Amino acid sequence: MAKRETGGGVLTYHPGYLHLNYNVPHKMDLEASGAHAVFKDSQTGSETRMGLAHNPLGVLMGNPITLSGPVTVTDIQKPAGILQISLTRTENPSQGLVTLIFRDAGQALDLYELRILDERQRTLFIRLGAM
């Protein structure tokens, strides 16, 4: 069974920009905009730059986000009170999958969780909650 680590922090997102500021287990920062992301780990002092063209997170960086063309909706599930939409890159789906999980709040959908499955079949769960 794979080791599961838990962290906490603040997520800021709008189309074309994402910022994750972790403070648990230790201070880490991920900032993505356009086609690139920078990950900074204050514990090790390391900084990692990555292109998003071949990373599943890049699916969320469109401005505006589209659900056709370069992005393909691979699955939609609607269990009671939930809507799940899975997205991948049209030209290379093996690069990963992003699943958006919404709570059905009657007249609106509330984004509750992101699941990002990378090409190595590792899953990152990002659960969103009110501050």
Q: What pLDDT does 107 receive? A: 85
Give the Cα-Cα-Cα angle 19, 20, 21 (nearest 5 degrees). Answer: 115
What's the chain look like in SS3?
CCCCCCCEEEEEEECCEEEEEEEECCCEEEEEECCEEEEEECCCCEEEEEECCCCHHHHHHCCCCCCCCCEEEEEEECCCCEEEEEEEECCCHHHEEEEEEEEECCCCEEEEEEEEEECCCCEEEEECCCC
Nearest to 92 by CA among 59, 122, 62, 121: 59
The answer, as to whether pTM is greater than 0.85, is: no
**Average pLDDT, rounded, for the chain:** 87
- Mean pLDDT (whole number) for 23-45: 88
Is residue 116 over pLDDT 60? yes
At residue 102, the pLDDT reads: 94
Q: Where are the domains of the chain?
A: 10-127
Long-range CB contact pairs, 29-36, < 8 A, 24+: 32/57, 32/61, 33/61, 34/61, 35/61
Q: How confident is the model at residue 88 (pLDDT cuts 50, 70, 90)?
A: very high
